[in-house]
Amino acid sequence: MKILITGACGYQGSLLIPKLLKKNHEIIAIDTQWFGNYLKKHKNLKNIKKNILDINKIDLKDVDTIIHLASIANDPMGDLVQNITWEYSCLGTMKLLNLAIEQNVKKIIYASSSSVYGLKKEKKVTENLSLKPISIYNKAKMITERIILSYSDKIDFTIIRPATVCGVSPRMRFDVSVNMMTYQALKNGKMTVFGGNQTRPNIHMDDLLDLYIFFLKKGKKFNGIFNAGFENLKIIEIAKRVQKIIPSKINIIKNNIDIRDYRVDSSKLLSLGYKPKKNINHAINEILIKYKKNINNVDKKSFSIKWLKQNYKRYFNIT
């Protein structure tokens, strides 16, 4: 199958593409490459450095499915470059869909986010509950979902609302909770926890990648919105899990709290027959194995927020 992947050089895309190539798929990878390019050359891979706003007909020729990962993928950056966050997410997706339909692409799989729920007291946060996104990033994700829904009569679609992802990747992210705490424990022997009582859902990278592949299937029951998070944990619980594997101290800070607090229920996804295989302990152990010898030598781009804050004017042509 010919698949176009946007945001292909990111944390998820850098691992998803080799997995799809192994399955003999033909891939067109599109990314602005803000965090570099970790994709190795392959006869079935066309790797294009490009903004999704500039995708054209030729990029989509004979493409069967789009896996759409391109996004400003964190809350602080969304707050810093608000217009660009809206533009890339909403306008970019609208342009992509218009071209996809024109070129007879059959399906789009979109990485939304479970953070669209914002603050939720319900024990079972299912897909039919109302959304209360808090940050610009969450709001842009919600509206992008709605843009995709508005094209649902013309193209098959799966919207996945992934929990926070954990695990290693060639394009590593240490700005996501499990990875960040594991990094702190390894580097400093100490983790900083803001608040700690906020609950957040988690998903292991390998499970999310399997899920994108699972949803290459077509058919009515694979269309729709699906939560994808399997461990709803308080931030302090994550810190304690890290502490058990990497002996370290936990420093709790009571102010400056990121108040997002939600748990997701993924029964709808599980009812399709999809089964996750890993948990956050796997991710902590995998990070430990990969980084215990070189934790002082981590690529600066792994701290997405810091990296983008230093480089966004150049990337976004802001003077």
Give yes or no for residue 111 binding ligand NAD (CB under 6 A).
yes
Q: Does 199 bind ligand NAD (CB under 6 A)?
A: no
User: Nearest 5°: phi and psi at 204?
Assistant: -75, 140
User: How far apart are the C-alpha atoms of 28 and 46, rounded to whole Å?
Assistant: 5
Among 1, 21, 42, 51, binds ligand NAD (CB under 6 A): 51
Closest approach of ligand NAD to the CB of residue 173, in Å = 6
Residue whose token pair is 């829904």:
149
Among 34, 86, 117, 291, binds ligand NAD (CB under 6 A): 34
The CB-of-189 to ligand NAD minimum distance in angstroms stands at 25
Distance between CA atoms of residues 35 and 41, nearest Å: 18
Among 155, 176, 225, 233, indicate the residue that binds ligand NAD (CB under 6 A).
176
Token pair for residue 7? 């945001």
3-state secondary structure of 297: helix
If one asks whether residue 164 binds ligand NAD (CB under 6 A), the answer comes out as yes
Instruction: Decide if residue 35 touches ligand NAD (CB under 6 A).
Output: yes
SS (H, E, C) 229-264: CCEEEEHHHHHHHHHHHCCCEEEEECCCCCCCECCC
Q: Which stretch binds ligand NAD (CB under 6 A): 11-19, 96-104, 246-254, 275-283?
A: 11-19
Other Cβ atoms within 10 Å of 266 Cβ, number: 24
CB contact set of 310 (below 8 Å; sequence gap of 6+): none
The tokens for 77 are: 């950056």
Q: Does 6 bind ligand NAD (CB under 6 A)?
A: yes
Stretch 119-158: interaction string toward ligand NAD, x if CB under 6 A: ----------------------------------------
Kindly list the residues in this chain that would bind ligand NAD in the complex (CB under 6 A): 6-7, 9-13, 30-35, 51-52, 69-73, 88, 92, 111, 113, 162, 164-165, 171, 173, 176, 304
